[in-house]
Amino acid sequence: MDCVLEHPFETGHFDDGAALRPGGLELTIRAMQCAGFTAGKRILDLGCGVGAGTALLHRHGCEVIGLDLSPARLADACRESPAVAGDARRLPFADESMDGILAECSLSLAGYDAGTLTECRRVLRPGGRLAITDVYARHGDTDPTPLPGCLAGLAPRADILAALAEAGLAIQRWEDHSDVLKVFLAQLIFSGRGAGALWTGDGSAYTAALRACRPGYFLLVAAKERLG
Which residues share a beta bridge with 111? none
Tell me the pLDDT tens digit for each residue of 89-103: 999 999 999 999 999
Q: Which of 56-60, 100-104, 113-117, 207-211 has the lowest mean pLDDT?
A: 207-211
Which residues share a beta bridge with 101? 44, 130
Residue positions annotated with a catalytic role: 104
Residue 144 lies inside a defined structural domain of this protein: no
Tell me the pLDDT tens digit for each residue of 6-30: 333 333 444 444 445 778 889 999 9
Residue 174 lies inside a defined structural domain of this protein: yes
Residue 28 lies inside a defined structural domain of this protein: yes
User: Closest Cα partner for 197 from 212, 187, 208?
Assistant: 187
- Give the range of the structural domain holding residue 170, as residue numbers without chain letter: 22-136+150-178+215-224
Residue 76 lies inside a defined structural domain of this protein: yes
Q: Are 108 and 150 in contact (CB under 8 A)?
A: yes
pTM as predicted: 0.82
Alpha carbons 202 and 151: distance in angstroms, whole number: 15
Residue 14 lies inside a defined structural domain of this protein: no
Measure the N-to-C terminal CA separation of the chain; round to a whole number of Å. Answer: 47
Residue 145 lies inside a defined structural domain of this protein: no
Q: Are 22 and 181 in contact (CB under 8 A)?
A: yes
Tell me, what DSSP letter sits at residue 182?
H
Residue 185 lies inside a defined structural domain of this protein: no
CATH of the domain at 76: 3.40.50.150
User: Closest Cα partner for 55 from 41, 40, 66, 42?
Assistant: 66
How many structural domains comprise the chain?
A: 1
Average pLDDT over residues 138-156: 67
Tell me the pLDDT tens digit for each residue of 39-97: 999 999 999 888 889 999 999 999 999 999 877 777 665 666 888 989 999 999 999 99
Other Cβ atoms within 10 Å of 202 Cβ, number: 9
Tell me the pLDDT tens digit for each residue of 191-205: 555 455 454 455 555
Which residues share a beta bridge with 124? 98
Sheet strands side by side (includes 98-104): 83-85, 63-68, 42-46, 98-104, 124-137, 215-224, 169-176
> For residue 148, what pLDDT band results from cuts at 50, 70 and 90?
low
User: What are residue 87's phi and psi, to 5 degrees?
Assistant: -105, 135
User: What are residue 100's phi and psi, to 5 degrees?
Assistant: -165, 165
